[in-house]
Structure 1
C-alpha cells in the first residue's frame, strides 16, 4: 500500500503537485471537509477530476482531523493505493430516517461478494437512524465483515450535511466502500470517557429514535430540568449532556445516545439512534481528562507495528469537541501516540460513530472516539 495525506484550505486553489498520481480502481481517496463545500464544491470537483477511476468517499464535518490537529474550513484528504486489496464503491439515496434499514440493505447488496473483509460507510448526519443503518448492514453482510464509519456533521448547526457522491456533495445519501482480499489488515476501536449522574430512569414511551416519556413523564421538560440555564441553547447544548442507554436485563453493553433535535409541541427528543422502550437511561456529563484518556484507549493495540504504512481514520463526536474546546487537539494527539510509529491519521467530528460492538455486529455509538486502522500485508 502507498499512502499520502494532505490538508487543503477550501478557499485556495490546489498546488500543482499536491496530489499523488495514483488514480486506479484500487485507490481509495478519503475527503472530510467543511459543510460550506456543499455550496462551493470546487476542491471536491478537483479531487474527482484527478481520480476518475478511484473510489472516493467523503462527508461534511464538525471539524476536520489531520495528524494531531483539528481544523475548520479545510479539506482533510488521504490517498491510499492498495497493492493486493480490491475496492468497490456503493451509494444509495434516502429521504429520511425511516429509509435507514432499506438503505443498509441496498448498500450491502451492492458490496456483497467473494473476499469482502471490511466496509467503511458514511451517511447523511440528519436523515438517518444510525441504529437501523448499522443493524441492517450487519444483518445483510453477515458475520466476518467489519463495518465502521460515521454520520456526517454540520458543526453545531444541525441544518444540513453532505456525503460525496459521483455527482458531487449531496444531502440525503449514504455511501460506502468495500475492501476485498486476504492482504488487508483491518482493525478498530471505540471508547468514550463520560461520567453518569443522577438516578436511572426508564424509557416508558418511545418510537424508533424519538423519546417521548421517561418514568411516565414527558421527556423534554425532564431533560431541560437537568440542563438548567443551558436548556435555552437546545439542541446544541444537548451535546454536552448525552444519555447512557442500558439494557435492563444486561444482555448488551451500555451505549451512549446524542440528541439531534427537540420537538416543543410533542415534548419529545430525537436521537441519532434507537431508544428502546423498557431500557434504562442515565444523564451524562464530561470529564476532560477521561475524554482524552478514552481517545487514547480507543487506539491502544490497534495496528501491527511490523507493517507500514498505516492509515488511521478517526471519527469523534461533535459533543466531545464542544466539551474539550481548546483542548480538542489533545484527544487526536492521544490516539496517534498509541498507534504504530509513522501512522498517518485523518478523520472528522461527526453526529455519530459506527463500529462493531462486543457482539461483533456493527452498532451506532455517540460521544466516542472511534478508530479504523488499515494496513496491507
Structure 2
C-alpha cells in the first residue's frame, strides 16, 4: 500500500511517535538512534535495505562529495568513532579498521591553495593519520595521507542496523511514501531520509544523482585500501578490500540517472586501478554495480512544519558520504526530534 495524499488508510501509516522515510544507511542509522533514545519509531521504505544505493557503496569512512565541509567533518569524526567501536565485532557489524592511502590528485608542491581541500580538521582528528611519504604514493601524485579508518561491508552493515533497530523496539515497513503531508497525518514527527527520492517527494530540485559505477573482482591479495581524492573529477580510482571481493572504482557523473553498468566504463575502471596494482589486470570479475549518490549543494538537515502542522526533520543530500556522515547526522536528528516533541505548538 503506497502513501498518497488521500485520507484513506493514513492512520495506519505509523502508530508510533516518529516515522522515518528511507531505509538506506542515513535512514536506518537515524532510526536506530531515535529508538535507542526512547522514541517509538517505524521506517517506511519502498526498497529493502539491500536494494538501496547504500548497499552499493564502497563503504570507506572518508568525507567525499558532501557539503558544507565544516559540518561534514564534524559528522564524519563522530561516525569514525562509532564505526571504530563497531569494528571490534566485524562479523556482526560489517565494520573493520583497515589501513590505506588517500592520494591527492592535481596538486602542485609548494602552493598551499592547491592543498587546501577543506578537510584540515578531518586530517587532524583521525587518530594516527599522517602525510604519505613519496614512496607510498603512485607516480604523478605529490601528496596524500596514510590512515587506519573504518571500511564497512555495507550489505552486512545494513543488516546489522536493521537487527539493532528491531532489538530497540523499532520496525520496518516496505511502503512507498508519495507525500510528506500524508505521513505527517499519522505521526508526531516525520524524519525525511529519502535521499535521491527527495527530488520528487519534497520536492527539492537541488537534489540530483551523481552516478557511481564500480567493478568487484576476486582479490589477488590486496589488503590495504587505496583511493584518490579529487572531488571535482568524473572519473576516480579506488580499491577497497571487502569480504566479498575487491571493490574497484569508479565514476562520479552528476545528473546521470542510469543504473545500468557501461562495459566501456568498467574496462576503464579496471585499467586505472591496474596502473596502481598491475595484478588487477588479470583479476577475475565477480560483479558490476551502479549506484546513484544523492547529491545536493549542501546537506539539508533542519526542521520545518508541514502544511498539516506536523514537524518534519529533513536529513538528506549526503552525496558520496552517507556512511561517513550517518552517525553524526543521527545525533542532530535526535536533538531536533526532541525539540519538536517538547514544543509541539511552536512555529
- Greater per-residue helix proportion: 2
Higher relative contact order (CA 8 A, sep 6+): 2
